[in-house]
Structure 1
Amino acid sequence: MIGGVDKDLIVMAIWGLIFAVFVIKLLQSIRLVPTKSAYVVERLGKYHSTLDAGFHALVPFIDKVAYIHDLKEETIDVPPQECFSSDEVNVEVDGVIYISVIDPIKASYGITDYRYAAIQLAQTTTRSVIGTLELDRTFEERDIISAKVVEVLDQAGATWGIRVHRYEIKNITPPETVKNAMEMQVNAERERRALLAKSEGDKQSKINRSEGMKAEMINLSEGEMQKRINEAEGRAEEIMELAKATSESIQALAEVISAPGGQSALRMQLAEQYLKQLDGLSKESSRVILPANMVDFDSWMDNIGLKEKS
């Protein structure tokens, strides 16, 4: 009886184990695929199908999810590596790759590990491109290096089922001795530019000062010229006005003289002025020059052409 009980318990345990395994496999055959993911299913060791996002039920014990791929874009760090430039300078370069899986079947069966392969290919391509450039150009031609790496990875990615979106170089680190030399060169260039800028500033300052002095001299000369012109024009106008006034006075005097009694009035006025002049001379000097005949007034007038007409 005891032997029979033990035998029944063993059989029940075996059936229970088989049932548990069946339930586990049944649950494993139910797959919920997330968005932007792809499950590669094998049936009896052979590729069967690719599961997209959603609910899927597999055949237990026959179907198996062999590979799971994330279809979103991912970044892969490229470890630092030593590269030699064309002028034999050793630099350390690292970067980052941006890739995504576009064909889950090729990514599963076209290569063992596409991530590792992409890193290795990026490193070898970077070394080959930097080997064609001088050290100074490696810092300037990062876009060329990145474009070449992307081109090579795209060609290989067609077989691996991946797409390389871009490759960026993070750091290009030269040796300390080269870095110090480059810093000294940069400082020397900066000092040269500063001296050049200072000399250009001094030159421009002198030019500005000379141009200012030139403009000042021109303004002064033009002002002096205008002043002389104005003075000359003023003197000319003064002379013209004086001549005009003299002409008018002479004309008026002639008209007065030609009028009746004009000569007599003129003679009297001249005689009066003459006597005033004599009086003034007598006060200023002890010597007075008188005409030979003080009484003969008519002879004085005759000498100046103002003889009274009879």
Structure 2
Amino acid sequence: MTLQYVGIALGVIALYFVSCIRILYEYERGVIFRLGRVLPEPKGPGILMVFWPIDRLMRVSLRVIVQDVPTQDVITLDNVSVQVNAVVYFRVIDPMKAILEVEDYVYATSQLSQTTLRSIVGQVELDELLAERDKINRHLQEVIDQQTDPWGIKVGLVEVKHVDLPEHMKRAMAKQAESERERRAKVIHAEGEYQAANRLREAARTIEAHPMAMQMRFLQTLVEVGAENNTTVVFPVPLDLIVPFFRQRPEDAGASNKPPAE
């Protein structure tokens, strides 16, 4: 009987030691509390012994956590109501602080990200929020990282995902964009007219210096008109051929100045 009891006791002890074995993955660290007091260094990865009930193991993942920031109603600096959401990328760099300094570091980081997002967006105008997204993202990352540093959290990236505008603001911005496009079109058209006028002035100077160029241009115009299957033929007549007919001869001018015979 004694040997039987000894065998049972040894079996129970073996089962106890087997049940105390814990395995931590490469991306995990374990914070062990022994009789309520934390052991100096986090354990893992690999195999470790947790002697329950005097030991308690808290697993902490060192991988990057992606936390979605819910949509927040924010009033910008120029009194425009918008809805903004974002995403936060962070990881634990100190498992001891993540367990000892805050109850739930994931929930705490999420709440801090929401309040910081409302605060930062409320300090900028709408145009800056839409045009300088990278600057706002860096500011958010710096502020959240600074506030989560005592928890052993490193915030690597914060990105504003979407900015939802009211309908009247969308219509106003659409009108503004349309007016801007019309302004650019008019400026481009005026610039083209200016350049064309300069080119025509240079062409006129060239033709004035070389009269035969006008004749060549005249013949080219006739070729272009004759190339089409038209029933109407336009034949331009140079003004130099018509002007002499309208000029009065000196004797005709003198005769017209004589008084009429009685």
Q: Compute the TM-score of the two structures, normalised by the length of structure 1.
A: 0.60
What's 1:55 paired with?
47
What's 1:160 paired with?
151
Larger Rg, first or second structure (1 or 2):
1
Q: How many residues align?
A: 207
What's the offset of the Cα at 1:204? 1.5
> Is residue 2:104 matched to residue 1:100?
no
- Note the alpha carbon deviations across 1:91-128, whole angstroms, 9 max, x for none: 01111111010000111111112222222222222222
Q: Is the 8 A contact 1:126 1:145 kept in 2?
A: no
> Is residue 2:133 matched to residue 1:133?
no
CA distance in 1, matches of 2:110, 2:210: 77
The match for 1:82 among 60, 73, 76 is 73
Amino-acid identity (%): 35
- Note the alpha carbon deviations across 1:196-248, whole angstroms, 9 max, x for none: 21221222222222222223333559xxxxxxxxxxxxxxxxxxxxxxxxxxx
Which stretch of the first structure deviates more once superposed, 200-209 or 83-92? Answer: 200-209
User: Secondary structure of 1:51's match?
Assistant: coil
Letter in 1 for 2:21: I
CA distance in 2, matches of 1:74, 1:144: 23
What's the offset of the Cα at 1:176? 1.1
Which stretch of the first structure deviates more once superposed, 112-121 or 31-40? Answer: 112-121
What's the offset of the Cα at 1:27? 3.3
CA distance in 2, matches of 1:109, 1:125: 23
After superposition, the CA RMSD in angstroms is 2.7
CA distance in 1, matches of 2:101, 2:135: 29
The match for 1:30 among 17, 21, 24 is 21
Letter in 2 for 1:152: V
What's the offset of the Cα at 1:81? 0.3
How do 1:150-189 and structure 2 match up within 5 A?
150-189=141-180
**Unpaired stretches in structure 2, ≥5 consecutive residues:** 1-7, 213-262
CA distance in 2, matches of 1:202, 1:82: 49
CA distance in 2, matches of 1:153, 1:91: 21
CA distance in 2, matches of 1:82, 1:145: 17
User: Secondary structure of 2:42's match?
Assistant: strand
- Give 4+ residue runs of structure 1 displaced > 3 Å after superposition: 22-28, 218-221
Letter in 2 for 1:47: V
Letter in 1 for 2:147: A
> Is residue 2:201 matched to residue 1:210?
yes
CA distance in 2, matches of 1:128, 1:86: 11
CA distance in 1, matches of 2:171, 2:14: 69
Which stretch of the first structure deviates more once superposed, 40-49 or 161-170? Answer: 40-49
Q: Is the 8 A contact 1:25 1:61 kept in 2?
A: no
CA distance in 2, matches of 1:218, 1:123: 76
- Note the alpha carbon deviations across 1:29-58, whole angstroms, 9 max, x for none: 212211121111111232124212122223
Letter in 1 for 2:72: Q
Q: Compute the TM-score of the two structures, normalised by the length of structure 2.
A: 0.71
What's 1:72 paired with?
63
What's 1:46 paired with?
37
Change in 2 beyond 3 A, CA 1:204/1:87: same
What's the offset of the Cα at 1:25? 4.8
User: Secondary structure of 1:144's match?
Assistant: helix
What's the offset of the Cα at 1:24? 6.1
**Unpaired stretches in structure 1, ≥5 consecutive residues:** 1-15, 222-310
Letter in 2 for 1:167: V
What's the offset of the Cα at 1:62? 2.2
Change in 2 beyond 3 A, CA 1:31/1:195: same
